[in-house]
Amino acid sequence: MEANELFFVTELPAGCPDRMGQGLLSYGARLSKMLDISWRSLVFSDLDQDAQQMFTDYGVPEVTILKDAEQYLDTPQILGTVLAEFVVEQKGGIIAFAHNDLGCTLAPLLAAHLDAALVTEVNAVSCSDQGLHLSRRVMGRRIDETRIWNQRGFLVITVPVSALSPVSLPTDAKASLRINEYIPPAETELIESAPNSSVIVERIPSDPQTVDLTDAEVIFCAGKGCNNADFEKLRELCRLLGTSLGVTRPVYDLGWADFDRMVGQTGRYVKPRLYVTFGVSGSMHHVGGIQDAQQIVAINSDAKAPIFPNADQGFVADVQEILPRLLEKVRTGTGGNK
């Protein structure tokens, strides 16, 4: 039984897909063209006019609303059952999530319900006579692994958030959007299907000061252009702004930070929304570890530093002059506490 449709589970924070959700829609449009099969988005709540327009702009041909499924977001086993009940009627297909909290939770549950193949953090897809080739990076992103799916039954995948670009291609077809609803089984049936279902009782935001750098949203990185006083100022700046602190290999070698703060091919591969470097020259080993960052801003006094060609924005300036002024402004704005 060959896969006959793509399903993209799309979150609607504040009623519309956010940047990540838009990236998932753009990814869906491209993947459906490559595989030459139909696709749709699955959502857990009704669509307002703005959301409908956004789905249309991204060329989504169909949206299925899993009616009232939003109430089960805190009971993932039950929500997984709702998803499984719907997609099993399609008799084959690929179900895709963003590799975030929701996707990491639901993907294995759904795969278990469907007896489906599961491949997480897929960063490249291609086809051959053997089947569908799904590539991802493993062993701390140091090794590329490719798995082949025979396109029978169901496949559940997650896509790294760093691989989801919200850019909509001009070639995306802007077909008329079809909206339909799926009514899940009665609540009593769902509860009976997962009698020992776990419940999420609280969601605690991660602490930027201690979060693993691979999961950090914003990172300020100190390079060898920082002296010890600069480094302490940068550490305070990170605390006041709620950002994560990273360092290059030379700074780690000085003993100013632990190994888990080191960014680069011999340290952590990172994929933040924003990466700001202070006095980082930009060796190939460091640049190799930040290539998945969405936005890179570089500050260095050397206009010829190799970090600049790899940055989205660059400023030729002395960090010993920039950091005190920046820190003073932040102290004033935050009252010096956070």
Predicted TM-score (pTM) of the model is 0.73
Q: How confident is the model over 204-222, as a mean pLDDT?
A: 89
Q: Mean pLDDT over residues 267-294, rounded?
A: 93
Residue 124 has pLDDT above 70, yes or no: yes
The whole-chain average pLDDT of the chain stands at 89
Question: What pLDDT was estimated at residue 285?
Answer: 92
**H, E, C per residue of 144-174:** EEEEEECCECEEEEEECHHHCCCCCCCCCCC
Q: Which residue has the tokens 């009665």?
A: 186
Q: What pLDDT, on the 0 to 100 scale, is given for residue 143?
A: 81
In the predicted model, what is the mean pLDDT of residues 143-165? 89
Give one DSSP letter per residue of 2-18, joined into a string: B--EEEEE---GGGS--
User: pLDDT: is 40 or 1 the higher one?
Assistant: 40
- For 77-117, how does the pLDDT look when each residue is reduced to its tens digit (9 = 90+)? 889 888 998 988 877 789 999 999 899 999 999 999 999 99
Q: Which of 72-76, 278-282, 298-302 has the lowest mean pLDDT?
A: 72-76
Instruction: Write out pLDDT tens, residues 226-270.
Output: 999 999 999 999 999 999 999 999 999 999 999 999 999 889 989
CATH of 213-334, picked from 3.40.50.1220, 3.40.470.10, 1.10.230.10, 3.40.50.450, is: 3.40.50.1220
Q: Which of 159, 122, 165, 161 is nearest to 23 (CA)?
A: 165
| Euclidean distance between CA atoms 275 and 175, whole angstroms | 37
Residue 187 has pLDDT above 70, yes or no: no
User: Which token pair is 36?
Assistant: 């030459």
Least confident stretch, 56-60, 201-205, 237-241, 263-267 = 201-205
Whether 232 contacts 209, CB under 8 Å: no
Q: Where are the domains of the chain?
A: 5-193, 213-334
Average pLDDT of the segment spanning 204-221 = 88
Tokens of 333: 């704005």
pLDDT of 118 reads: 95
Confidence check: pLDDT of 222 > 50: yes
Helix or strand (DSSP H, E) at 38: strand 38-43
Task: Decide: 226 and 279 in contact? Cβ < 8 Å.
Answer: yes
pLDDT over threshold 70, residue 283: yes
Task: Give Cβ neighbours of residue 155 (< 8 Å, ≥ 6 apart).
Answer: 3, 93, 94, 95, 116, 117, 118, 119, 132, 149
Q: Which 8-state DSSP code applies to residue 192?
A: H
Q: Which of 68, 111, 60, 120 is nearest to 88 (CA)?
A: 111
Q: What mean pLDDT is predicted for residues 54-68? A: 92
Query: In angstroms, what CA-CA distances link 52 with 49, 57, 58, 62, 208?
Result: 5, 9, 10, 10, 35
Q: Is the pLDDT assigned to residue 337 strictly greater than 70? A: no
Confidence class of residue 167 from pLDDT cuts 50, 70 and 90?
A: confident
Give pLDDT, residue 65.
Answer: 94
Domain 5-193 bears CATH identifier 3.40.50.620: yes
Q: Taking 90 as the threshold, does the pLDDT of residue 159 lie above it? A: yes
Asked if pLDDT for residue 1 goes beyond 50, the answer is no
CA distance linking residue 118 with residue 179, whole number of Å: 28
